[in-house]
Amino acid sequence: MTFSIVARSDDGETWGVAVASKFLAVGSAVPAAVAQVGALATQADANVAYKGLALSHLDEGATASVALQRLLEEDEGRDHRQVGIVDV
């Protein structure tokens, strides 16, 4: 079992991702964050491509909900994944 939290500070200056899991090296698969862009966690049947794609969408100005929608519409395995995204 894996637990993840993705958060942004009230002032929008700080993002963070925390993960707890029995999965070894979970930090290489679940979390991703870029300062002044956003943060996300993908778990369950994680799609690690989500990390780069979501951060790219956010960096191009998409909101978290738009970035998530773009990820899901392109992914045939979406029903088996869990993902959380925060933006600026």
Q: Quick: pLDDT tens for 31-78.
A: 999 989 999 999 999 999 999 999 999 999 999 999 999 999 989 999
The count of domains in the chain is: 1
Q: Distance between CA 7 and CA 86 in Å, rounded?
A: 7
**pTM for the complete prediction?**
0.89
Domain that holds residue 79: 2-87
Q: Which residues contact 86 (CB under 8 A, 6 or more apart)?
A: 6, 7, 8, 15, 38, 39, 40, 64
Report the CATH number that the domain containing residue 22 is assigned in CATH: 3.60.20.30
